[in-house]
Structure 1
């Protein structure tokens, strides 16, 4: 009898806590990356970039002024990059307050981007791979 009561109580706790901590979203997110143990960014459809500084409890949308789908993001040493549909690459050096377009010279979808210690690599459809040694500036 104790086991049944314990299981029922545990199940109720798990169900209630899941609904309390879950955040409902009508957005279509495509990628998420942690910058630190507390700061995380995500990208998605219609140029969506969102940033959280409290481990994802609350989110702030960042203005990109594009409508392209973003498929990948990367953050390193205060520089943020995002890549997506029709060859779009965006770069921010101010924690996402402003985003500048980088023109890679393709209209292929760029599916992911990584940035580490000033080196950026982007991969896309049809075997596209771009490399930058100036943190995505060129």
Structure 2
């Protein structure tokens, strides 16, 4: 009789423990899904205005991420020694600015400091070195040799080799720069958040 009672309660205990574990697993799943849902919201990139309903800010999206690791993960490598990525050979990020100086040569800029260049009308693209993870919004060139890119936090990048490599230029502002235009090989303007307006008379230096 005692053994029967023990077996009865042991069986119930096992069932209760099983149900509790399932509930805990379900809770973990729900929390993970909620976090995934929050991160899967579309990003509102233009800062300084009220966040649109259903959107997440760029800063919130990357708040718990290592930016350098994200850049390493999303930017393709040249070769692994075993496999070589053929297409696409560009970072898998969102691009915001694109500019062509003629029918063949152009650049595009975007998330995590991405700059890519084409010399055949967009059929093929190569990655330009920027050494930054700051979001870039605009890119422009007047003569195809000097290339300027601008973006978040007053970031201005300048290239003197046709957009192959870029160096950071002090802009004097931390406001996001949304517009960029070189009028000739020396004169250009950048504009952005909080009525920011910048002018260069020495080709972006």
Name the structure 2 match of 1:64.
Answer: 130
Pair 1:39-2:96 in alignment: no
Q: Paired residue for 2:198, among 124, 130, 133? A: 130
CA–CA distance in structure 1, aligned partners of residues 131 and 96 of structure 2? 18
CA–CA distance in structure 2, aligned partners of residues 131 and 26 of structure 1? 32
Greater fraction of residues in strand: 1
Relative contact order (C-alpha < 8 Å, sep 6+): which is higher?
A: 1
SS of 1:122 mapped into structure 2: strand
CA–CA distance in structure 2, aligned partners of residues 125 and 85 of structure 1? 10
Q: Paired residue for 2:159, among 81, 92, 96? A: 92
CA–CA distance in structure 1, aligned partners of residues 104 and 164 of structure 2? 18
5+ residue gaps, structure 1: 1-22
Tell me how far 1:69 sits from its aligned partner: 0.3
Greater fraction of residues in helix: 2
Instruction: Return structure 1 stretches of 4+ with deviation > 3 angstroms.
Output: 23-26
CA–CA distance in structure 2, aligned partners of residues 66 and 124 of structure 1? 20
Q: Deviations along 1:30-55, whole A, 9 cap, x unmatched? A: 01001111111000000000000111
Tell me which moved more, 78-87 or 94-103. 94-103
SS of 1:126 mapped into structure 2: helix
Q: Deviations along 1:96-124, whole A, 9 cap, x unmatched? A: 22211111111110112111211110001
Q: TM-score, with normalisation over the residues of structure 2?
A: 0.54
Q: TM-score, with normalisation over the residues of structure 1?
A: 0.79
Asked if the contact 2:91/2:114 (under 8 Å) is kept, the reply is no
Name the structure 2 match of 1:81.
Answer: 148
Please identify the structure whose Cα radius of gyration is greater.
2
5+ residue gaps, structure 2: 1-87
Tell me how far 1:25 sits from its aligned partner: 7.6
CA-based RMSD of the aligned residues comes to 1.5
Q: Paired residue for 1:106, among 173, 190, 199? A: 173
CA–CA distance in structure 2, aligned partners of residues 107 and 50 of structure 1? 24
